[in-house]
Amino acid sequence: MPYLPLEKHLPGITGLLEYRKDTAEPIRKLTQTLLRGASTLTEAEREMIAAIVSHNNECRFCTTAHTATADLLLGDRETMQKIKQDIETAPVSEKMKALLIIARQVQKGGKNVTEALVNRAKDAGATDVEIHDTVLIAALFCLYNRYVDGLATVAPNDPAFYETLAKRLVDNGYNRLPGGYDQLKNRIFS
Amino acid sequence: MPYLPLEKHLPGITGLLEYRKDTAEPIRKLTQTLLRGASTLTEAEREMIAAIVSHNNECRFCTTAHTATADLLLGDRETMQKIKQDIETAPVSEKMKALLIIARQVQKGGKNVTEALVNRAKDAGATDVEIHDTVLIAALFCLYNRYVDGLATVAPNDPAFYETLAKRLVDNGYNRLPGGYDQLKNRIFS
């Protein structure tokens, strides 16, 4: 049971973003810019960062949503699973390994990002902006995970919910759609 | 030494907000809305939440800046110090004690906010929106603290720096001023 009177058909972050729209708007804009804006990181790579941080924060709603989104963008269900098991042996580039490790350290706390880890990323070809964005995406999902779980929002069990949400995030990104999530209502709960 | 080429005269968050302005803009807007927008919590109370979360995340730049801001708004230097020592015996209302404890739990992770703590806040007169905003402000400062420390920004030692920054945050809030922080340059480093 959420601690706030959220709309029953809007689980996880979706109900919170409709609860207070004036704070939701800059959260959406920041996420859209970081995860869907121009970048030398692919959308799948940026969703991997969101998913691994949510996983390490044990936020079930965000982990399942962003894993489904990364899976859809990648076209497979193994990569994200392997990243969660062990970044070092996962089938991603050396640059992405280094960036995912930085993200994992940010999740624990900012001071855990060492110069050695940043140098590893740079040696693997990461740019300053990629390192900046990795840290900020990781920090943003530390916000999301705490917002979602701190107010005890509901995480649906049905995988179809997350697949529908992932399709929305791939097709439309993070901006608010006209009518909020109303147009997803029937699709999500059909 | 910061991990990114930030401007030397812009320590802590200030250099990061100038480094990538398109992500800074929604971060500023979210902060302005939550900490300076219409609310039944005073600006001092909202700065207390920012300061206690930053303190518990051991982010020296943010803790010193938001402690100085809370001090300036309160007109004393003891309240914030006592909150850091022990929320339960600090000279704040029962409602603020309950909200500061919720904020402290959010800092540890969202799942640490229990129904009993939320009920304590409601029993002390906290509204749903106050509880929402407490969780979101705490989550936002978990973002800020990780952004600031994850990129190894510099925290000045001179208390005068933070007093100048606090005055800016009291007088002008969190929106970007024309010229960014350039107009503070001479004041901060005079």
A190 falls in which pLDDT band (50, 70, 90)? Answer: very low
Paired tokens of A90: 């996962």
Q: Is the pLDDT of residue B154 over 70?
A: yes
ipTM for the predicted complex comes to: 0.97
Residue A138's nearest CA partner among A86, A60, A66 is A66
**pTM of structure:** 0.97
Does pLDDT of A176 surpass 50? yes
Tens of pLDDT, residues B86-136: 999 999 999 999 999 999 999 999 999 999 999 999 999 999 999 999 999
How many other CB atoms are there within 10 angstroms of residue A140's CB atom? 28
At A153, the amino acid letter reads T
Determine phi and psi for B37, rounding to 5 degrees.
-75, 175
The pLDDT value recorded for residue A181 is: 78
The C-alpha atoms of residue A124 and residue A74 are separated, in whole angstroms, by 21
Instruction: Say which of B23, B57, B140 has its CB closest to residue A136.
Output: B23
Q: Are B18 and B68 in contact (CB under 8 A)?
A: no
Question: For residues B92 and B106, what is the distance between their CA atoms, to the nearest angstrom?
Answer: 20
Q: Determine whether the interchain pair A143/B145 forms a contact, defined as Cβ–Cβ distance below 8 Å.
A: no
A127 in helix, strand or coil? coil
pLDDT at B190: 38
Cβ within 8 Å, pair B23-A3: no
What's the whole-number mean pLDDT along residues A173-183? 84
Mean pLDDT over residues B22-30, rounded? 98
Which residues in chain B are closer than 8 Å to A142, comparing Cβ atoms? 139, 142-143, 146
Per-residue model confidence as pLDDT tens digits over A88-144: 999 999 999 999 999 999 999 999 999 999 999 999 999 999 999 999 999 999 999
CA B116 from centre of chain? 25
Torsions phi, psi for A54 (to 5 deg)? -65, -40
Which residues, in sequence order, are CB contacts of A52 under 8 Å at separation 6+? A83, A84, A87, A100, A103, A104, A107
Could you give the CA distance from residue A99 to residue A88 in angstroms, rounded to a whole number? 11
- pLDDT for B133 equals 99
Report pLDDT for B183.
58
Is the confidence at residue A183, as pLDDT, over 90?
A: no
Query: Do A111 and A122 touch, CB atoms closer than 8 A?
Result: no
For residue A190, what are the contacts with CB-CB under 8 A and spacing of at least 6?
none
Indicate the pLDDT class of residue A186, thresholds 50, 70 and 90.
Answer: low
Looking at residue B74, what is its pLDDT? 98
Question: What DSSP element (H or E) covers B31?
Answer: helix B21-36
Question: Per-residue pLDDT tens for A9-22?
Answer: 999 999 999 999 99
Q: Check whether B188 has a pLDDT greater than 60.
A: no
Domains defined for chain B, CATH in brackets: 12-174 (1.20.1290.10)
- Give A84: exposed, middle or buried? Use CB within 10 Å, 0-12, 13-18, 19+: middle
What count of residues does chain B have? Answer: 190
**Cα–Cα distances in Å, from A176 out to A45, A187, B33?**
23, 17, 18
**Residue contact B106–A146, C-beta within 8 A:** yes
Structure tokens at A110: 């900012």
B110 touches chain A (CB under 8 A): yes
Q: What amino acid occupies position B20? A: R
Which of A40-54, B26-40, B126-140, B172-186 comes out lowest in average pLDDT?
Answer: B172-186
Q: B180 pLDDT band (50/70/90 cuts)? A: confident
At residue A184 the predicted structure's pLDDT band, cuts being 50, 70 and 90, is low
User: CA-CA distance, A168 to A87, in Å (whole number)?
Assistant: 27
- Whether residues A128 and B5 touch (CB distance < 8 A) is answered with yes
B29 contacts in A (CB within 8 Å)? 25-26, 29
